[in-house]
Amino acid sequence: MEPHVTTHTLTVRGLCATRGSTPVLRGVDLDIASGEICALMGVSGAGKSTVLRAIAALQPFSEGGIVVDGFALQPGPVPPESRLRPLRRKVGFVFQAHSLFEHLTVMDNLTLAPMHAQRWTRERAQEVAKGLLETLGVAARSGAYPRQLSGGEAQRVAIARALALDPHLLLMDEPTSALDPARRGALGETLSALAKQGRGLLIATHDVDFAQDHADRVAVLAHGVLVEHGPAHDVLANPTHAATRALLQATKVSP
Protein backbone atom coordinates (compact mmCIF):
# COMPACT_ATOMS: atom_id res chain seq x y z
CA MET A 1 0.00 0.00 0.00
CA GLU A 2 1.48 3.29 -1.12
CA PRO A 3 1.24 5.89 1.68
CA HIS A 4 -0.28 9.17 0.51
CA VAL A 5 1.57 11.46 2.86
CA THR A 6 1.71 14.59 0.75
CA THR A 7 -1.91 15.00 -0.38
CA HIS A 8 -5.20 15.13 1.42
CA THR A 9 -7.34 12.03 0.95
CA LEU A 10 -10.43 14.10 1.68
CA THR A 11 -11.16 17.78 1.32
CA VAL A 12 -14.49 19.25 2.34
CA ARG A 13 -15.20 22.96 1.79
CA GLY A 14 -18.21 25.01 2.89
CA LEU A 15 -20.50 22.00 3.00
CA CYS A 16 -24.18 22.93 3.46
CA ALA A 17 -27.06 20.48 3.51
CA THR A 18 -30.74 20.72 4.40
CA ARG A 19 -33.44 18.30 5.45
CA GLY A 20 -36.57 19.72 3.93
CA SER A 21 -36.21 23.42 4.65
CA THR A 22 -34.18 22.88 7.86
CA PRO A 23 -30.44 23.44 7.52
CA VAL A 24 -28.50 20.42 8.81
CA LEU A 25 -24.97 21.44 7.80
CA ARG A 26 -24.01 25.09 7.60
CA GLY A 27 -20.59 25.41 5.98
CA VAL A 28 -18.35 22.58 7.15
CA ASP A 29 -14.63 22.55 6.24
CA LEU A 30 -12.67 19.37 6.83
CA ASP A 31 -9.42 17.78 5.61
CA ILE A 32 -8.19 14.26 6.16
CA ALA A 33 -4.63 13.35 5.26
CA SER A 34 -3.51 9.88 4.31
CA GLY A 35 -2.69 7.77 7.34
CA GLU A 36 -4.74 9.99 9.59
CA ILE A 37 -7.61 9.09 11.89
CA CYS A 38 -10.05 11.92 12.41
CA ALA A 39 -12.88 11.68 14.93
CA LEU A 40 -15.94 13.67 13.96
CA MET A 41 -17.64 14.40 17.26
CA GLY A 42 -20.87 15.95 18.45
CA VAL A 43 -24.10 15.09 20.20
CA SER A 44 -26.84 13.22 18.33
CA GLY A 45 -28.35 15.44 15.67
CA ALA A 46 -25.26 17.60 15.33
CA GLY A 47 -24.90 16.49 11.68
CA LYS A 48 -22.13 13.84 11.92
CA SER A 49 -23.96 11.20 9.89
CA THR A 50 -25.00 13.78 7.28
CA VAL A 51 -21.32 14.67 6.68
CA LEU A 52 -20.46 11.00 6.18
CA ARG A 53 -23.43 10.34 3.91
CA ALA A 54 -22.70 13.38 1.77
CA ILE A 55 -19.08 12.24 1.30
CA ALA A 56 -20.28 8.76 0.30
CA ALA A 57 -22.79 10.33 -2.15
CA LEU A 58 -25.72 8.75 -0.33
CA GLN A 59 -27.42 12.11 0.02
CA PRO A 60 -27.30 15.44 -1.81
CA PHE A 61 -25.84 18.65 -0.44
CA SER A 62 -26.85 22.19 -1.36
CA GLU A 63 -23.60 24.16 -1.25
CA GLY A 64 -19.85 23.67 -1.04
CA GLY A 65 -17.72 20.88 -2.43
CA ILE A 66 -16.22 17.51 -1.61
CA VAL A 67 -13.06 16.06 -3.17
CA VAL A 68 -12.04 12.49 -2.42
CA ASP A 69 -8.66 11.55 -3.80
CA GLY A 70 -9.19 13.75 -6.85
CA PHE A 71 -12.87 12.83 -7.37
CA ALA A 72 -15.12 15.88 -6.92
CA LEU A 73 -18.74 15.92 -5.84
CA GLN A 74 -20.86 18.97 -6.72
CA PRO A 75 -23.90 20.44 -4.96
CA GLY A 76 -27.25 19.24 -6.27
CA PRO A 77 -28.86 15.85 -6.70
CA VAL A 78 -26.78 12.71 -6.19
CA PRO A 79 -25.32 11.69 -9.56
CA PRO A 80 -26.36 8.35 -11.06
CA GLU A 81 -24.44 5.34 -9.78
CA SER A 82 -22.70 4.89 -13.14
CA ARG A 83 -20.84 8.20 -12.65
CA LEU A 84 -19.90 7.37 -9.08
CA ARG A 85 -17.88 4.27 -9.90
CA PRO A 86 -14.46 5.90 -9.24
CA LEU A 87 -15.74 7.22 -5.90
CA ARG A 88 -17.01 3.78 -4.86
CA ARG A 89 -13.51 2.37 -5.17
CA LYS A 90 -11.99 5.21 -3.13
CA VAL A 91 -14.45 5.32 -0.23
CA GLY A 92 -15.37 2.47 2.13
CA PHE A 93 -18.36 2.89 4.44
CA VAL A 94 -19.01 0.99 7.65
CA PHE A 95 -22.59 1.54 8.79
CA GLN A 96 -23.61 1.85 12.42
CA ALA A 97 -25.88 -1.21 12.09
CA HIS A 98 -23.28 -3.07 9.95
CA SER A 99 -25.90 -3.63 7.21
CA LEU A 100 -24.42 -6.96 6.23
CA PHE A 101 -26.46 -8.71 3.52
CA GLU A 102 -28.68 -11.00 5.55
CA HIS A 103 -29.14 -13.61 2.82
CA LEU A 104 -25.42 -14.14 2.17
CA THR A 105 -22.63 -15.81 4.14
CA VAL A 106 -19.74 -13.76 5.48
CA MET A 107 -17.58 -14.83 2.56
CA ASP A 108 -20.27 -13.94 0.01
CA ASN A 109 -20.81 -10.58 1.69
CA LEU A 110 -17.15 -9.80 1.01
CA THR A 111 -16.93 -11.14 -2.53
CA LEU A 112 -20.26 -9.79 -3.88
CA ALA A 113 -19.06 -6.32 -4.86
CA PRO A 114 -15.59 -7.27 -6.17
CA MET A 115 -17.09 -9.99 -8.35
CA HIS A 116 -20.07 -8.06 -9.71
CA ALA A 117 -19.05 -4.41 -9.56
CA GLN A 118 -15.36 -4.92 -10.35
CA ARG A 119 -15.60 -8.13 -12.40
CA TRP A 120 -12.96 -9.90 -10.39
CA THR A 121 -12.83 -13.67 -10.67
CA ARG A 122 -14.31 -15.59 -7.77
CA GLU A 123 -10.85 -16.95 -6.90
CA ARG A 124 -9.29 -13.52 -6.66
CA ALA A 125 -12.21 -12.11 -4.68
CA GLN A 126 -12.13 -15.03 -2.25
CA GLU A 127 -8.39 -14.79 -1.80
CA VAL A 128 -8.58 -11.10 -0.93
CA ALA A 129 -11.57 -11.75 1.34
CA LYS A 130 -9.76 -14.54 3.17
CA GLY A 131 -6.78 -12.27 3.79
CA LEU A 132 -9.00 -9.51 5.19
CA LEU A 133 -10.99 -11.88 7.41
CA GLU A 134 -7.74 -13.24 8.80
CA THR A 135 -6.34 -9.77 9.45
CA LEU A 136 -9.52 -8.88 11.32
CA GLY A 137 -9.61 -12.18 13.22
CA VAL A 138 -12.89 -13.53 11.86
CA ALA A 139 -11.61 -16.02 9.27
CA ALA A 140 -13.29 -18.87 11.16
CA ARG A 141 -16.69 -17.31 10.57
CA SER A 142 -16.50 -17.09 6.79
CA GLY A 143 -19.29 -19.66 6.27
CA ALA A 144 -21.65 -18.10 8.83
CA TYR A 145 -24.69 -15.95 8.07
CA PRO A 146 -24.87 -12.43 9.55
CA ARG A 147 -27.55 -13.41 12.08
CA GLN A 148 -25.23 -16.01 13.55
CA LEU A 149 -22.50 -13.44 14.36
CA SER A 150 -21.93 -11.56 17.61
CA GLY A 151 -21.99 -7.75 17.49
CA GLY A 152 -18.19 -7.53 17.46
CA GLU A 153 -17.81 -10.17 14.78
CA ALA A 154 -20.42 -8.52 12.60
CA GLN A 155 -18.62 -5.21 12.88
CA ARG A 156 -15.27 -6.68 11.89
CA VAL A 157 -16.91 -8.43 8.93
CA ALA A 158 -18.47 -5.10 7.93
CA ILE A 159 -15.02 -3.46 8.10
CA ALA A 160 -13.54 -6.28 6.04
CA ARG A 161 -16.30 -5.86 3.46
CA ALA A 162 -15.66 -2.12 3.23
CA LEU A 163 -11.93 -2.81 2.73
CA ALA A 164 -12.35 -5.42 0.00
CA LEU A 165 -11.90 -2.82 -2.75
CA ASP A 166 -8.93 -1.28 -0.93
CA PRO A 167 -10.40 2.24 -0.47
CA HIS A 168 -8.18 5.18 0.43
CA LEU A 169 -10.80 6.68 2.68
CA LEU A 170 -12.80 4.72 5.26
CA LEU A 171 -15.92 6.26 6.76
CA MET A 172 -17.34 4.77 9.95
CA ASP A 173 -20.57 5.71 11.69
CA GLU A 174 -20.54 5.22 15.49
CA PRO A 175 -18.33 2.10 15.43
CA THR A 176 -18.16 1.74 19.21
CA SER A 177 -21.85 2.03 20.02
CA ALA A 178 -22.36 -1.73 20.38
CA LEU A 179 -18.96 -2.71 21.79
CA ASP A 180 -17.76 -3.46 25.32
CA PRO A 181 -14.50 -1.74 26.49
CA ALA A 182 -12.22 -4.68 25.56
CA ARG A 183 -13.65 -4.79 22.07
CA ARG A 184 -13.30 -1.03 21.83
CA GLY A 185 -9.56 -1.32 22.43
CA ALA A 186 -9.22 -4.05 19.83
CA LEU A 187 -11.14 -1.96 17.31
CA GLY A 188 -8.85 0.99 17.98
CA GLU A 189 -5.79 -1.11 17.24
CA THR A 190 -7.37 -2.38 14.03
CA LEU A 191 -8.09 1.16 12.90
CA SER A 192 -4.58 2.33 13.71
CA ALA A 193 -3.20 -0.49 11.58
CA LEU A 194 -5.48 0.55 8.69
CA ALA A 195 -4.24 4.15 9.01
CA LYS A 196 -0.63 2.99 8.98
CA GLN A 197 -1.34 1.42 5.59
CA GLY A 198 -1.90 4.96 4.31
CA ARG A 199 -5.68 5.22 4.51
CA GLY A 200 -7.59 8.20 5.82
CA LEU A 201 -10.21 7.36 8.41
CA LEU A 202 -13.15 9.60 9.28
CA ILE A 203 -15.03 8.26 12.28
CA ALA A 204 -18.30 9.77 13.47
CA THR A 205 -18.53 9.15 17.20
CA HIS A 206 -19.58 10.68 20.48
CA ASP A 207 -17.27 8.34 22.38
CA VAL A 208 -14.74 10.73 23.95
CA ASP A 209 -12.50 7.99 25.40
CA PHE A 210 -12.25 6.25 22.06
CA ALA A 211 -11.38 9.51 20.30
CA GLN A 212 -8.80 10.37 22.95
CA ASP A 213 -7.10 6.98 22.69
CA HIS A 214 -7.16 6.38 18.94
CA ALA A 215 -7.79 9.54 16.92
CA ASP A 216 -5.06 11.83 15.57
CA ARG A 217 -7.40 14.74 15.22
CA VAL A 218 -10.84 15.72 16.47
CA ALA A 219 -13.45 17.87 14.77
CA VAL A 220 -16.45 18.90 16.85
CA LEU A 221 -19.82 19.59 15.18
CA ALA A 222 -22.61 21.54 16.82
CA HIS A 223 -25.86 22.41 15.01
CA GLY A 224 -24.26 21.81 11.63
CA VAL A 225 -21.21 24.00 12.27
CA LEU A 226 -17.65 22.84 12.93
CA VAL A 227 -16.93 24.57 16.23
CA GLU A 228 -13.57 23.12 17.10
CA HIS A 229 -10.91 21.34 15.13
CA GLY A 230 -7.39 20.23 16.02
CA PRO A 231 -5.11 17.50 17.39
CA ALA A 232 -7.08 15.12 19.59
CA HIS A 233 -5.11 15.86 22.76
CA ASP A 234 -5.40 19.63 22.46
CA VAL A 235 -9.08 19.70 21.71
CA LEU A 236 -10.11 17.20 24.33
CA ALA A 237 -7.73 18.46 27.05
CA ASN A 238 -8.47 22.16 26.55
CA PRO A 239 -11.93 22.50 25.02
CA THR A 240 -12.62 26.07 23.98
CA HIS A 241 -16.20 25.67 22.84
CA ALA A 242 -19.25 25.09 24.99
CA ALA A 243 -20.35 22.20 22.74
CA THR A 244 -17.06 20.35 23.30
CA ARG A 245 -17.28 20.90 27.03
CA ALA A 246 -20.84 19.62 27.05
CA LEU A 247 -19.74 16.54 25.13
CA LEU A 248 -16.91 15.89 27.60
CA GLN A 249 -19.25 16.49 30.53
CA ALA A 250 -21.80 14.03 29.20
CA THR A 251 -19.30 11.21 28.73
CA LYS A 252 -17.37 11.76 31.98
CA VAL A 253 -20.48 10.70 33.88
CA SER A 254 -20.30 7.21 32.46
CA PRO A 255 -16.78 5.78 32.76
- Residues of this chain that interact with other proteins (CB under 8 A) are 56, 58, 81-82, 84-85, 88-89, 91-93, 95, 97, 99-103, 112-113, 116-118, 145, 147-148, 161-162, 164-165
Give me the amino acid identity at 42. G
List C-alpha distances in Å: 2 to 5, 33, 199: 9, 13, 9
Least Cβ distance, residue 99 to other proteins (angstroms): 4
Q: How many CB atoms lie within 10 A of CB 147?
A: 8
Least distance to other proteins from the beta carbon of 53, Å? 8
Backbone angles phi, psi at 94, to 5 degrees: -110, 115
Q: Which is nearer to other proteins, 73 or 218 (CB)?
A: 73
Q: In what helix (H) or strand (E) does residue 231 lie, and over which residues does it extend? A: strand 225-231
- What is the closest distance, in whole angstroms, from the C-beta atom of residue 93 to other proteins in the complex? 4
- Report the residue number, 60 or 185, with the smaller CB distance to other proteins: 60
With CA atoms as reference, report the closest residue to 217 among 204, 205, 234.
Answer: 234
Least CB distance to other proteins at residue 145 (A): 4
Run of H or E including 170: strand 169-173
Which one, of 199, 149, 150, lies nearest residue 170 by Cα?
199
Q: Going along 4-82, which residue ranges are E strands?
A: 8-19, 22-33, 37-41, 63-68, 71-73
- Which CB sits closer to other proteins, 165 or 179? 165
Tell me the closest approach of the beta carbon of residue 251 to other proteins, in angstroms.
26
Which among 95, 14, 29 is positioned nearest to 61, based on CA atoms? 14
Cβ proximity to other proteins: between 147 and 253 the closer is 147
Q: Which is nearer to other proteins, 84 or 246 (CB)?
A: 84
Q: Which residue number, 148 or 249, has a Cβ lying nearer to other proteins?
A: 148
* Shortest distance, position 68 Cβ to other proteins, whole Å: 12
